[in-house]
């Protein structure tokens, strides 16, 4: 894994073995921090080019506000889908409330060209991504 960017609340890695941008949330990302981190993820996907996919490790992300959830759904999602990414693996959060937030967010991708996989660990996400992104 190659560290691409680092913030106090998020590390972004490039995982060559599965051609994925990996977001490893550390917690505490709210408001502008959340926006900056998620926008940095889009920049990294674009920089890696065609075939780059996304793994979001949200184990420690915490609960998002209604405003943050709305921004993700109405602003970030359309820009993410425009990157041409076909696969998204989401490592589920530890928090029950955050898990419900993420499940609601992932449902927004139904009916799109994005295949979503939810799992319990980064290893599971990377293994799945290697199996589908060849």
Structural domain span for residue 115: 2-132
What pLDDT digit, counting tens, does each position of 3-19 carry? 999 988 899 999 999 99
Structural domain total, the chain: 1
Q: Which tokens hold the place of 75?
A: 């602003």
CATH number of the domain bearing residue 86: 3.30.750.24
Q: What residues contact 96, with CB distance under 8 A and at least 6 apart? A: none
pLDDT of residue 97: 65
Q: Is the full-model pTM beyond 0.85?
A: yes
Low-confidence ranges of the chain (pLDDT < 70): 28-29, 95-99, 101-105, 134
């Amino acid at each position: 894994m190659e560290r691409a960017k680092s913030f106090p609340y998020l590390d972004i890695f490039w995982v060559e073995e599965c051609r994925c941008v990996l977001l490893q949330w550390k917690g505490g990302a709210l408001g502008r921090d959340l926006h900056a981190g998620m926008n940095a993820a889009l920049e990294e996907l674009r920089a890696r080019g065609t075939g780059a996919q996304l793994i979001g490790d949200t184990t420690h992300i915490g609960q998002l506000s209604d405003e943050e959830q709305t921004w993700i759904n109405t602003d970030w999602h359309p820009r993410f889908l425009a990157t041409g990414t076909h696969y998204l693996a989401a490592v589920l959060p530890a928090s029950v409330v955050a898990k419900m937030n993420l499940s609601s967010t992932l449902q927004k991708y139904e009916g799109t060209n994005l295949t979503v996989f939810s799992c319990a660990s980064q290893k599971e996400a990377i293994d799945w991504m290697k199996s589908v992104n060849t």
